[in-house]
Amino acid sequence: MSAVRRIAYLSGTRADFGLMCETLRRIHTDPALALSVIATGTHLSAAHGHTVDEIRAAGLTVAAEIPVDVLTRTPASMSQAIATCLQHISIWLEAERPDLLLLLGDRGEMLAGALAALNQGVPTVHLHGGERSGTVDEPVRHAISKLCNHHLVATEGSRERLIRMGEAPERIHVVGAPGLDGLTALAAGERADALQALGLPAGRAFVLVVFHPVVQQAAQARDQTLALLDAVQRLALPVLWLEPNADAGAHGVLQALDEHPLPAGSRRIAHLGRPLFSQAMRHAAVMLGNSSSGIIEAASFGTPVVNVGDRQRLRERNPNTTDVPVEANAIATALKQALDHGHHPPDNRYGDGQSAARIVRLLRELPLSADVLEKCNAY
């Protein structure tokens, strides 16, 4: 291992890169660390904004690009994309031999990276492990944790769950959620300027919607989206609707959006950069959908969140979140109640916005000797 630790970060979506951007910048500027980013998934898709350009715009080095199929959006294509990523990340790891591979969350590309690194003797650090969410994301997240060597978690509850899963306590560190770092600064500015940049009517309340398909419920994605559309039509407020990720069922979400208009003054958008997305979260009267950003990040602004369905049903909650089934009447009622309540005091159990410094310190200090790779359950 070199004196400067060579850190590789595998990124597959606008979401994980946005959460890690501040931390990656801190790694990049630390003299004891050298960062490379491997871009795959929707980063390389024009239909999803070709967000690999945002990685480079942040001043970071994209060491490799791994194209995978993100347009077919079926369960089989998701599995095949993991296989493609596994094949190519294995080739890259063999050629470059980084000192450490950094992975976040529960996406399939992270599972591919964890498996390749385990087979090839590259130490791994997993962020946001130990969390419960429900649906297919949860077992994938736990599988990644079991394959990885060190864990940087968001909450004490996550740490306790990893210990119960058999992970060694000394390898689990509570750092908070990195997506909170710099979040309030990104959202700074006047509301009127944000509404103009977002293309929304001046001076009006609006609803921010981020709704992704649930893989096991892919066949129901169109009908579920119709329930959300019914509810926001009853509210008659402008909507800022961000299109879904590339998971199975996304075609159903898009089909429903194509078939049914949004309320007057609304805007539908395929990709929104993190600064504008942060401003949208801050200024929205209510956030609707099933994105982890509603569960984790929106609480830093006190924005009320109506969380729909199963995708995030088991995550630790902040006080601003209300859970409802995918049913139009229930969604409409919860939206009305959230609007009547208004914003909550900012209060976020996921961290204090100072994660990057903790993560960088640990990346400099974590043991990476050969015995770290010898994993077994602690019990």
What 3-state DSSP class applies to 307?
strand
How far is it, in rounded angstroms, from Cα 15 to Cα 104?
10
Mean per-residue pLDDT for 173-193? Answer: 97
pLDDT surpasses 60 at 1: no
Diameter of the chain measured on Cα atoms:
61
Q: What is the structure's pLDDT at 2?
A: 59
Closest Cα partner for 261 from 228, 229, 227? 229
* pLDDT at position 352: 96
Decide if pLDDT at 328 tops 60. Answer: yes
pLDDT single digits (tens) 236-290: 999 999 999 999 999 999 999 999 999 999 999 998 999 999 999 999 999 999 9
Q: Is the pLDDT of residue 43 over 70?
A: yes
% of the chain with per-residue pLDDT over 90 = 96
Residues of the chain with CATH 3.40.50.2000: 5-182+353-373, 184-341
Torsion-angle region of residue 345: left (phi > 0), alpha (psi -120 to 50) or beta? beta
5-182+353-373: in CATH 3.40.50.460? no
Q: What is the structure's pLDDT at 134?
A: 82
- For residues 36 and 87, give the distance between their C-alpha atoms in angstroms, rounded to a whole number: 19
User: How many Cβ atoms from other residues are within 10 Å of residue 177's Cβ?
Assistant: 26
Average pLDDT of every residue of the chain: 96
CA pair distance 323, 258, nearest whole angstrom = 26
Rounded to whole angstroms, the Cα distance separating 281 from 88 reads 36
Instruction: Tell me which H or E stretch contains 321.
Output: strand 321-324
Per CATH, the architecture of 184-341 is what?
A: 3-Layer(aba) Sandwich (3.40)
Task: Compute the distance between CA of residue 145 and CA of residue 125 in angstroms, rounded to an integer.
Answer: 9
Model confidence at 135: pLDDT above 90? no
Distances in Å between the Cα of 239 and the Cα atoms of 180, 228, 260, 300 are: 24, 11, 13, 21
pLDDT digits (tens, 9 = 90+) for 84-105: 999 999 999 999 999 999 999 9
* pLDDT tens sequence across 27-37: 999 999 999 99
d(CA 33, CA 321): 38
| The pLDDT of residue 3 is above 90 | no
Work out whether strand 100-104 and strand 62-66 pair parallel, antiparallel, or are unpaired: unpaired
Helix, strand, coil % in the chain, rounded to nearest 5 = 45, 15, 35
CA distances from 346 to 187, 308, 355 (A): 14, 22, 18
Q: 7 pairs with which residues across the strands?
A: 35, 100
What's residue 196's pLDDT? Answer: 97
